[in-house]
Structure 1
């Protein structure tokens, strides 16, 4: 057994295959319901960090259930982190990879097997940190931004303590997927987070999910109605299960694409124009999306997964005014896609890719270094139904393509092994050197690294779709 003594406690590790040490379930903060986190200072007794801490309160969604997350270990007391570090002592401090999970800000846990940092720590020669943060009504009620404050509190803990685990507190890369990717972008904009990380990598960030003061006030009012109470003080007295039931009712009655619970541009934790601040942050930044993000939802929606052309155009008309033109544009760009796949392709770009394109464009205008990637490898599972869907890339960047259960979603074989090696090495390169091994993004040729069976650099991918979405963004802001 290995014991580490840090500023905030002594921790006993669990060996992972002898070459990686795992410290699980380290408490970094405590928090009362609806209150900011308070940094945790333990007593002097060594803590046996062998088991994950409690997961945040939630009702697991479809993807979380597929990944093995249940409600059995959920608790409001959930502010724990895990550290994975190479067992062999390094003569120099190692870069730190700080993971923020996704789940629409209502789901997720650092205990999900896909997020085990052992293989990434080994392959990247880096210290990997994975954290829990509060979700839904517990983390994002109104404009509190408590879940984001949890993330910042965890970053502060890492800054104080990670040197004892072999990590470099001056070389922390934050990375996350979906809501975790949106958290990464939000942290780029959050003033109080800036001293605690050096670089950022956002995977399929749900950038369109951010809230504002008006929407956050409406969210609180809706929650009070569905909870059957008249004040926030009464919410404090409800059971956690009653709050989750009311939360789900708010989501079900909301017209938000993902969840009514998300970081709020409150002018306190976050600036009123979050994306403008993120676009002006000079820290090195990588952003990417998956080609078929929205197949994860559309292809499992009985109302949309068996559409013909007429049905697809009708479905598109609920999303935009020029449905016939959109159909023609996407059918030309994706000629092998069926009608339901076309709808999913449109949704993928509307909800993810257009925002990534826009942030890359504005960061270049501000001379802030950025890099673009596109994950296009399609999963062979479910008879190819998933394509390169949302979250499919996670086990590859974690070098976890071969862990138990991963084959259910991504299959197995030489291609998966190769793709995992390339993806994890790209992330490691960025963590060590501050830039990946492909050219910096420029709007004139938009160099984009493509992760697929034949990984490659592409210039100006999907130029027709890019032009369409940039014009949409112009129209939205005019």
Structure 2
């Protein structure tokens, strides 16, 4: 068939409303056409992977600190066989990166790798076939405390999830001061810049919806899901105007509205960051190199003293009109089905950065004295309301006398577990289609290396199960699991992948291979416990929950 004949047939098909992405690439089973141009991916098992697709223009030059702009079109066939970029950040030892960064040496004698490429607003897609079947679309927003992390990582390989007949998308968004530094106090023309990272996510969702047919996806059945900063982002997205225009369902994994910033904090931290770097104007910030800005960011984190909490979306009164908890209670997201939960021992994740695996929120570590997770003033006020000391109540509930373990449980409840539960309460009052879970699987103690304590089900431990990768190499002893144990983990992963994809397809996680999981409602508080023997429980750890039942869990900062 010659080119002229192909063109004529393509025109005829267009006239009757049939897109011709596949016709344009009839000799390429891993090709499809997007609104920006044609791309060629790679077959990955039973699915096709398209990586490093631009969804917005590179935010460089005058576009730095600006909302994302529409991506440019390209001529010819674009190679989408590999990841192309990681947004500017300093390498985190627990993150996965597609390629090495640039090694730099700090004045304090330490060194690290950094990533400087600002042309990073890209996404990757896994699909069984680039046809017109209208499969459910699952868009994953990665975590990383809004300073690190990226969707260009094999840690979030979507091929196994896509094998459940869904389209899986992962994305990059600007992190750190590139995406979450509010410059409104420095220049009113840049007001709202502190939410540009969130705007990147929205731009990616919009791009996916417009191009859904190119990947065999249904633009009217989009589920957004995310973990940690990605989960906090989900909370923020539930707070934007008419979120159901952009997605139908949401899955929030370990991160609620308590981590979203107030406008005052965003403006104040923006001023402080500029001062730390010696920048008097946005113009000077625009002229700085990514390396200079990352150095400023590193120094600002130390100067502000809030650690991983320095960057996050903020309540700007425009994109996020009001406090997210209030938005949920008022029914802002009543059209969204919601699945959400937390891991059992969330904050033990940060123990992985310490040479002796000590918990930095309750004891001294390589990074210095313990950092209080629950502020002293808040603890005092809470204990006054309860008429009892938290330590005493938790000691009685847990039947423990080890101070560290008692404080760890309190911190996990305060930071993650109870805020997620309260989020379920608020949404279930507006939409009955809410499902709550708790992830409790942990590395068996017999497989832990000598000297490594039992850290439990740490933050992010659910991700290798959700994606089906079972990538446990970052967990002490995780890679030492024997085949007998691998079978246990594989079964749990299969259950969770089914639940996640079932929910994306119908709004109900139940189905073959999933233990019966009732909707969450406040009379029973049914919660799926993901473990070696997964099952739903009514109001698990109710005594702990009741200690926090009157807390609002609004913004920390």
Provide the TM-score with structure 2 as the length reference: 0.78
Q: What's 1:16 paired with? A: 44
Q: What's 2:461 paired with? A: 392
Equivalent residues in 2 for 1:92-131, closer than 5 Å: 92-122=133-163, 124-131=164-171
Secondary structure of residue in 2 paired with 1:11: strand
Tell whether the 8 Å contact from 1:379 to 1:411 is kept in structure 2 after alignment.
no
Equivalent residues in 2 for 1:227-246, closer than 5 Å: 227-246=277-296
Secondary structure of residue in 1 paired with 2:304: coil
> Which of 343, 349, 358 is matched with 1:290 structurally?
343
Does 2:402 align with 1:344? Answer: no
Does 2:302 align with 1:271? Answer: no
Q: Which moved more, 1:188-197 or 1:127-136?
A: 188-197
Secondary structure of residue in 2 paired with 1:250: helix
Secondary structure of residue in 2 paired with 1:98: strand
**Alpha carbons of 1:57 and 1:359: their partners in 2 closer, same or farther (altered >3 Å)?**
same
> Which of 144, 152, 161 is matched with 2:211 structurally?
161
Give the Cα separation in 1 of the matches to 2:76 and 2:98: 34
Q: What's 2:73 paired with? A: 42
1:105-135 CA-to-partner distances (Å, cap 9, x unmatched) read 111011222201111111x211100000000
**Alpha carbons of 1:115 and 1:209: their partners in 2 closer, same or farther (altered >3 Å)?**
same
Deviation, structure 1 residue 53: 2.1
Does 2:85 align with 1:29? Answer: no
Give the Cα separation in 1 of the matches to 2:343 and 2:237: 22
1:204-260 CA-to-partner distances (Å, cap 9, x unmatched) read 014321112211110111011110122222211212112112212222233536321
**Alpha carbons of 1:473 and 1:267: their partners in 2 closer, same or farther (altered >3 Å)?**
closer
Deviation, structure 1 residue 336: 5.9
Q: What's 2:11 paired with? A: none
> Which of 525, 529, 537 is matched with 1:458 structurally?
537
Q: Which runs of 5+ in 1 are unaligned?
A: none
> Which of 433, 458, 466 is matched with 1:369 structurally?
433
**Alpha carbons of 1:317 and 1:188: their partners in 2 closer, same or farther (altered >3 Å)?**
closer
Q: Which moved more, 1:274-283 or 1:379-388?
A: 379-388
Does 2:417 align with 1:353? Answer: yes
Deviation, structure 1 residue 69: 7.5
Equivalent residues in 2 for 1:30-429, closer than 5 Å: 30=57, 31=59, 32-64=63-95, 70=101, 71=113, 73-87=115-129, 92-122=133-163, 124-142=164-182, 143-144=192-193, 145-191=195-241, 193-256=243-306, 258-279=308-329, 280=331, 281-282=333-334, 283-298=336-351, 299-301=357-359, 304-305=362-363, 318=376, 320-321=379-380, 322=383, 325-335=389-399, 338-380=402-444, 381=448, 383-401=452-470, 409=478, 412=481, 413-429=486-502
Deviation, structure 1 residue 300: 3.5
**Alpha carbons of 1:343 and 1:66: their partners in 2 closer, same or farther (altered >3 Å)?**
farther
Q: What's 2:8 paired with? A: none
Deviation, structure 1 residue 45: 1.3
CA-based RMSD of the aligned residues comes to 2.9
Q: Which moved more, 1:359-368 or 1:391-400?
A: 359-368
Give the Cα separation in 1 of the matches to 2:203 and 2:455: 36
Secondary structure of residue in 2 paired with 1:267: coil
Tell whether the 8 Å contact from 1:22 to 1:82 is kept in structure 2 after alignment.
yes
Give the Cα separation in 2 of the matches to 1:14 and 1:206: 36
Deviation, structure 1 residue 288: 0.3
Give the Cα separation in 1 of the matches to 2:555 and 2:177: 30
Tell whether the 8 Å contact from 2:519 to 2:526 is kept in structure 1 after alignment.
yes
Tell whether the 8 Å contact from 1:179 to 1:206 is kept in structure 2 after alignment.
no
Give the Cα separation in 1 of the matches to 2:153 and 2:214: 25
Q: Which runs of 5+ in 2 are unaligned?
A: 1-27, 102-112, 183-191, 352-356, 511-516
Provide the TM-score with structure 1 as the length reference: 0.90
Secondary structure of residue in 1 paired with 2:320: coil
Deviation, structure 1 residue 316: 6.9
Deviation, structure 1 residue 272: 2.0
Deviation, structure 1 residue 92: 3.1
**Alpha carbons of 1:226 and 1:97: their partners in 2 closer, same or farther (altered >3 Å)?**
same
Deviation, structure 1 residue 464: 0.9
Secondary structure of residue in 1 paired with 2:309: coil
Larger of the two Rg values belongs to structure: 2
Tell whether the 8 Å contact from 1:16 to 1:22 is kept in structure 2 after alignment.
yes
